[in-house]
Amino acid sequence: MAGRDIKKLNVDMGCDFKCEDCEKYFDCNAPQKETFKKRGVYARARDSMAKIKHKILILGGKGGVGKSMGATNIAYALAMRGRKVTILDQNFDCPTIPIMLGMEGGGMRTKDEGGLIPAVGPKGIQVMSMGLILGEDEVLTWFHDLKRNATEEFLGYTDYGERDYLIVDIPAGTSSETVNVIKLIPEMSGSVVFTVPSEVSQNVAKKAVLISQKANVPVIGIIENMSELKCPKCGKIINVMQSGGGESLSGEMNVPLIGKIPMSRDVAVSLDAGEPFVEKYPDNEATVVINRAVDMIEEACGYK
Amino acid sequence: MAGRDIKKLNVDMGCDFKCEDCEKYFDCNAPQKETFKKRGVYARARDSMAKIKHKILILGGKGGVGKSMGATNIAYALAMRGRKVTILDQNFDCPTIPIMLGMEGGGMRTKDEGGLIPAVGPKGIQVMSMGLILGEDEVLTWFHDLKRNATEEFLGYTDYGERDYLIVDIPAGTSSETVNVIKLIPEMSGSVVFTVPSEVSQNVAKKAVLISQKANVPVIGIIENMSELKCPKCGKIINVMQSGGGESLSGEMNVPLIGKIPMSRDVAVSLDAGEPFVEKYPDNEATVVINRAVDMIEEACGYK
């Protein structure tokens, strides 16, 4: 075949000193970056985030692997232990956290002097999500800077007050939605990475582990979701998507495997109904795994 | 609570005549839009797309509902019927189509005179995907214009030649990755929308139906994926994610339900192995549903 092999599309790699849009942010040591971090919304976000003791990222790389389910139930389990918890939903197109907490259409409010007020859901959990203001039939198309602007408003112009935990639910991908939020939150405590057992999903979850490490956010552990299923009639264990994906990723990346959440109708029903399974189904294996994740998060944050 | 209710974040709604980045593109009737469509990459894409008879969008809104599985197997089934098929993978962060066709690391090539040459996979299927050039350990962070630039290169500067079908796999969300590609492809023949049975997923799939209709791309039908599962030992039907989501969305939106693909280990294994199930497992219910989708696509495109 004629032509030359290429490794990258023709993306301009020069520096224009616009750190907010730079794809090389985490690799950069230029002095301009330090100046940049002290200005404007970055300074505001730093002040706001200083009042929240611990910040946890929920990642997965791939869509549909259980990130929002995990973020909701981890937040809820923390709140059941008496922690003051805030969830930041970075999914702007198709947010589901408000559904999973029974808060759809709850609205968001602004302060008279400007800035946003988080919505408050069950167990006093604060929620910031576009799902609070998007109608069911409304389709929002976000272009480039709009998502960044929204992230900046959520972090720099929202009054969270004093909190114990911020749980950040990151949508699929490794692009701006992920990177913008990490840039704005100094000193994150750690991340939890979700995968499903298939090799296709592991391949993508590996990128989530890599981006967390690149941004100096330690990976607390991996959760394999939609793992094997037990037939409710005969008890047979059915591996729909093969098995062992979580273990193999854990071994390859040298990151703990927190546990495996089996496929379960109770989990699906609880998410649709807006009733977190960690409270509704305390004996479900999903609850056991989420509680183990919460133990590991609390330990990483100096509690226990 | 103090303050006023808000419906939108502070997004500038003025027209700056930059149609390529406009979130109101499909609703706009300004004469500038017609001028815009005749220029530059839009004109190039129009010429290139004129040589491809039919263009089909694969949508879902939510991640992990089977869009790439569907795109791969629909393309493969069309190729088995003798059609010349091209797949355009719009997932830039975590592309999986090359894995599902056994083409990872296959590379992409450029022509000496500039422009890209699509990779050719099994059954002569042309593939354009970032997964051809991304290493397994490589994490690409795409910022705003980069994805649009890549879409423009894929559509305006790639030599596909004469083809019967272009199958476009759209990632999760309703944002620029979806809208940019629809803008660049005049007269799309139709879309197929994937959902899983849960209400959370339907809620998002509905947005995919809406965006397709808004862009004047008729929805050919809905496929419910990860539907009920039959225990291989005792034959019990297990509804992991509740059931009937596809029917209810189909009824609500007045769009045909193509069929339901049960959870199946064969499907998962075939995707990981890069061997499309429409050939490897001809009797699997997944194959039956994909073939029905292909019948409906061919009918919508004037064959048979």
pLDDT in tens, B216-261: 999 999 999 998 888 989 999 998 887 788 999 999 999 999 999 9
The answer to whether residue B175 is domain-embedded is: yes
Dig out the tokens for B281 from the structure: 């497992």
CATH assignment at residue A249? 3.40.50.300
At A138, is the pLDDT very low, low, confident or very high (cuts 50, 70, 90)? confident
The answer to whether residue A166 is domain-embedded is: yes
> Which of B69, B130, B147, B200 to probe by mutation at the A interface, max A CB count within 10 Å?
B200
Instruction: List the domain range (segments joined by +) for residue A104.
Output: 41-300
Q: Check residue A13 and give its pLDDT.
A: 44
Q: What percent of chain A has pLDDT over 70?
A: 91
Give DSSP secondary structure letters for B110-146.
E-TTSSEE-EE-GGG-EEE-GGGT--TT------HHH
Q: In this predicted model, what pLDDT tens digit does every residue of A174-187 receive, in sequence order?
A: 777 788 888 889 88
- ipTM rounded to 2 decimals: 0.78
Q: Say whether A240 and B265 touch across the interface (CB within 8 A).
A: yes
The mean pLDDT value for B14-31 works out to: 70
For the whole model, what pTM was predicted? 0.84
Dig out the tokens for A170 from the structure: 């990151």
The answer to whether residue B9 is domain-embedded is: no
The answer to whether residue B2 is domain-embedded is: no
A216 touches B: beta carbon within 8 Å: no
A133 touches B: beta carbon within 8 Å: yes
The answer to whether residue B20 is domain-embedded is: no
Dig out the tokens for B115 from the structure: 């422009």
The answer to whether residue B23 is domain-embedded is: no
Q: Check residue B169 and give its pLDDT.
A: 95
The answer to whether residue B31 is domain-embedded is: no
Q: For residue A178, give how far its alpha carbon lies from the nearest alpha carbon of chain B (Å).
A: 9
Instruction: Using the CB atoms, write b or e for A14-27: b if 16+ within 10 Å.
Output: eeeeebbbbbebbe
Instruction: Count up the domains in chain A and report the number.
Output: 1
The radius of gyration of chain A from alpha carbons, rounded to an integer in Å, stands at 20
Residues from chain A that touch B64, judged by Cβ atoms under 8 A, are: 62-65, 172, 196, 201
> What totals of helices (H) and strands (E) does chain A contain, helices first?
11, 12
The answer to whether residue B285 is domain-embedded is: yes
